[in-house]
Each structure stands twice: as C-alpha cells, then as structure tokens.
Amino acid sequence: MSHSPVETLVKMINQIAANNRAYEDKEAAERVASHIKRFWARKMKEDLVEYLDAGGADLDPIAKEAAEQVKNGRKEATATKQAV
C-alpha cells in the first residue's frame, strides 16, 4: 500500500491539483502553489523541486506548473536572503 516519499508527494500534489480543477488553469496552478508554500515542510518542497528537475514525469499539468512556481518562489526567497 505504502509509497516511497516522493511517490507520496506526487500523489499529494496531483490530488491538490485535481481539487482545484474547477478554476482556470492559471488560477488553479497558483492556488496549488500557494497551498504547498503554506502547508508543506521545507524538505517536501525540496524533494518536489528535485523531482520536477528530474522531469516530473507523473505530475499532472497543473501540478507541474505549480511545482515550477514553488521552485521559482524558493529561488527568489534564496536570492532575497542572500541580498540581505
């Protein structure tokens, strides 16, 4: 029954995407990304980005776009931190 941690993360983000599908794709992806930023632990986000960078094969399109946004958000945060 149990999945590897990354399989679980992919299942989770795809499920979040599925539950936001009633919105237009752009808004849906933003909502998914926002949800992950607010609720996922640092390591989970890092693992998601790593999975995305490896191709993100099983990510649903909205989830993939959201993962991109999470990745970019983390980059920006790091850049801001370094600048400070």
Partner 1 sequence: MRVETFNPNKDYGTPARVSETLVTVEIDGVEITVPEGTSVMRAASLANINIPKLCATDNLESFGSCRLCAVQIEGRRGYPASCTTTVDEGMKVTTQNSKLAKLRRNVMELYISDHPLDCLTCPANGNCELQDMAGDVGLRDVRYGYQGENHLDSEKDNSNPYFSFDPSKCIVCSRCVRACEEVQGTFALTIDGRGFDSKVAAGQDEDFMDSECVSCGACVQACPTSTLMEKSIIEMGQPEHSVVTTCAYCGVGCSFKAEMKGDKVVRMVPYKGGDANHGHSCVKGRFAFGYATHKDRIKAPMIRESITEPWQEVSWEEAINFAATRLKDIQSKYGRESVGGITSSRCTNEESYLVQKLVRAAFGNNNTDTCARVCHSPTGYGLKVTMGESAGTQNFDSVMKSDVIMVIGANPTDAHPVFGSLMRRRLREGADLIVADPRHIDLLKTPHLKKAQHLALRPGSNVALVNAIAHVVVTEGLEDRAFVESRCDMESYEKWREFIRDERHSPEAVEATTGVAADKVRQAARTFATAKNGSIYYGLGVTEHSQGSTMVMGIANLAMATGNIGREGVGVNPLRGQNNVQGSCDMGSFPHELPGYQHVADDTARSHFESVWGVKLDNEPGLRIPNMFDSAIAGEFKALYVQGEDIAQSDPDTQHVEKALRSLECLIVQDLFLNETAKFAHVLLPGSSFLEKNGTFTNAERRINRVRKVMPPIAGKEDWEITVDLSNALGYPMHYNHPSEIMDEIASLAPTFTGVNYDRLDELGSIQWPCNDENPVGMPTMHVDDFPIGKGRFSVTEYVATDERTNSRFPLLLTTGRILSQYNVGAQTRRTDNQAWHNEDVLDIHPSDAELRGIKENDWLGITSRAGQTVLRARITDKVLPGVVYTTFHHPGSGANVITTDNSDWATNCPEYKVTAVQVERVSQPSEWQQNFKSFEALQMKLLKGAADTAHSEVEAE
**Shortest gap between Cβ of 5 and partner 1 (angstroms)?**
5
Please report, as ranges, the residues that interact with partner 1 according to CB under 8 A. 1-5, 8, 12, 15-16, 18-23, 35, 37-45
What radius of gyration do the chain's Cα atoms show? 13
Greatest Cα pair distance, the chain, in angstroms, is 46
From the centroid of its chain, how far is CA 81? 21
Cα gap 66→16, rounded to integer Å: 10
**Shortest gap between Cβ of 36 and partner 1 (angstroms)?**
10
Q: Among residues 41 and 83, whose Cβ is nearest to partner 1?
A: 41
The residue whose two tokens read 């399989």 is 7
DSSP state for residue 11 in the 8-state scheme? H
Q: Among residues 2 and 82, whose Cβ is nearest to partner 1?
A: 2
Q: Among residues 53 and 77, whose Cβ is nearest to partner 1?
A: 77
**Shortest gap between Cβ of 53 and partner 1 (angstroms)?**
19
